[in-house]
Structure 1
């Protein structure tokens, strides 16, 4: 169990990240690629195609480089692989990775080596050698480009839906309500947030607040940085839509939908894969609220969407027919 201790300053400094972190997503995607057996079913189609894509591009070794320092079954992997600068994008995160101070590299590699045998090149990383750090950063960039970037729109949309749900919980119940909305893997007993975790530890925020990062590839339980002196973050799983499949399996589908519905209306249909308010939809598509409402109205008249009022908001979602059109299969959709 991880216990995160808040004080009154921390309550006011809880943040919800606006998008997944590209370095965290790459590490966690590699975990899914190396999962024993058949892995988590929701990633099965993505995993098969990602492995094939990496093999076709000659990037299997690049994925193994990342997995060697961050194995999926490890209770610890070096924090420098997921720097705070990743919030500003992949390039900023990789630059921070390359510039990790030597003392920190040595300490974190030493800690990672305690329970597991690391490859020989990890010793060169610990000494601050430029070549292996550059190779590691290049591996992140190549793996991300090959198997993460094609699905980044879906990953961001999934994070948006989660952020919208947390925002509604915040509006209805304050910070208490928002933190409680993460049940069952988080339990809020003020002033301590209890997190389902593979090891027993305490993290005291001391007024720094906590940044909650939604993750498309995180599964089952949240993950925090090991070093308590780093900016506190908690990477957490999000709910996937029933019909989620990797972009490689949907290669022609967006174009076909655009040809049928028009580009903007096709984007609206995709955005309604999970319940969303008019304001959230407008922000996601970067259109005005009246424009978003007009597009939803057209989909609703065609039997592809339905809407209901929830307090001061109108929430929209797909009908079974809309979900079938979007995903290529009939699936129950609940509002």
Structure 2
């Protein structure tokens, strides 16, 4: 159990983010992938990822066997995978080194291992550029199989979770929001307890506040992540959003079944995700890029191809453009008339945008 101690100033500075971004979820997913518990929730997802990639078998996976290595505060929250990887590429060597030392120390404190580096001493991502580039390539590959296929639904769920907590915070205050956190969290002023069992640590916020971040793949020993180079930054605490088999099925199995799988085969996975993302509500190019975890140029290209196929309509509002599904796009997404016009339109999707 983790105890987080608040002062009145901490309560005033406590906030909720929607997500740490696709790289943050990828980092957490690598730990969840290697764990064997909660098979009902993550068993199907693990088998799917194992069949699609060597993420679990790669030597760098040892860095994420437990969620002790804090790359979250190293990169900061990042809206796209590319943004997060670039932040990691540019990270200061001394910052990464301190996080590696901290992870080794945590392993020594929380496990029976007498050698804190055993099983985790892969490479030198702090000072060896080749090792860091290898890590970046590994994370990009892991993301493609573990997170990217599910990202539009994950992001939608995380945004909804954040909106609910933010509404409680705005209308009733921080204490009501903390009291309304899911099972596993217990608010007894001035302490927020996380997890079960004996106390494994106490965090004194000391006026920094707390940043709560909903997460699909946060399933490890509760811990806060603190920026090594910024003493005033609020610690980060991830809050799980998967609380039932139904949650896991909705977020982590749907893309591999039924129409979604057919759409991915028909349009290509990224384009199918773009169509699905626009189907969740009209959006600008920037919002589409965030929903599908892509750069703005990539999102613009995908929207352009879908528009050319007659699946998406684009209108201009001032300096921004807004993308929305056409009736043909909605029919294809919903599976109606799947044998007729949508197939003809989709056949043109591969044509280059003029």
Counterparts in 2 of 1:119 and 1:12: CA distance versus 1, 3 Å: closer
Q: 1:130 to 1:89 in 2, by over 3 A?
A: same
Tell me the residue number matched to 2:92. 101
The reply on whether 1:236 has 2:243 as its aligned counterpart is no
Q: State the alpha-carbon separation in 1 of the partners of residues 283 and 169 from structure 2.
A: 18
1:50 is matched with: 49
Q: Distance in 2 between matches of 1:247 and 1:187?
A: 32
Please tell me whether the aligned partners of residues 21 and 215 of structure 1 are also in contact (alpha carbons under 8 angstroms): no
For residues 11-46 of structure 1, the C-alpha deviation after alignment (integer angstroms, 9 at most, x for no partner) is 222221123432331122122221226x43122222
Q: Structure 2, unaligned stretches of length 5 or more? A: 105-114, 264-271, 288-333, 335-354
Q: Which residue of 2 aligns with 1:141?
A: 140
Quote the residue 1:260 is aligned against.
none
- What's the RMSD between the two structures over aligned residues? 3.9
Unaligned runs of 5+ in 1: 257-262, 272-280, 287-325, 327-335
- Preserved CA contact (<8 Å) 1:20 1:216: no
- 8 Å contact kept, 1:166–1:178: yes
Which residue is equivalent to 1:178? 177
1:15 and 1:70, CA in 2 relative to 1: closer, same or farther beyond 3 A? same
Measure, in 2, the Cα distance between the counterparts of 1:231 and 1:90: 23
Residues of 2 paired with 1:203 and 1:283: CA distance? 40
Residues 216-246 of structure 1, C-alpha deviations (whole Å, 9 max, x = no match): 1123764421667464110110146454243
In structure 1, what is the equivalent of residue 328 of structure 2?
Answer: none
CA contact (8 A) 2:29 2:217 kept: yes
In structure 2, C-alpha distance between the alignment counterparts of 1:135 and 1:212, rounded to whole Å: 31
- Summarize deviations over 1:122-159 as a string: whole Å, max 9, x none: 3x335x11110111122111211232111001111221
For the structure 1 residues 89 and 191, does the alpha-carbon distance in structure 2 shift closer, same or farther, using more than 3 Å as the test?
farther
Single out whichever of 84-93 and 232-241 deviates more from structure 2.
84-93
Which moves more between the two structures, 77-86 or 6-15?
77-86
**Residues 107, 239 of structure 1: alpha-carbon distance in 2 compared, 3 angstrom cutoff:** closer
Correspondence for 1:79: 70
Are the aligned partners of 2:74 and 2:96 in contact in 1 as well (CA < 8 Å)?
no
Q: 1:9 to 1:42 in 2, by over 3 A?
A: same
Q: SS in structure 2 opposite 1:117?
A: coil
Aligned counterparts of 1:174 and 1:81: Cα–Cα separation in 2: 27
**CA distance, structure 2, for counterparts of residue 140 and residue 249 of structure 1:** 21
TM-score normalised over the length of structure 1 = 0.64
Specify whether residues 7 and 88 from structure 1 end up closer, same or farther in structure 2 by C-alpha distance, changes over 3 A only. Answer: farther
Pairwise mapping of residues 1-335 of structure 1 onto structure 2 (< 5 A)?
Answer: 1-36=1-36, 39-55=38-54, 61-62=57-58, 64-65=59-60, 67-71=61-65, 74=66, 77-80=68-71, 83-113=74-104, 114-118=115-119, 121-122=122-123, 124-126=124-126, 128-170=127-169, 173-196=172-195, 200-219=200-219, 222-225=222-225, 229=231, 231-239=234-242, 241-242=246-247, 243-244=249-250, 245-250=252-257, 252-253=259-260
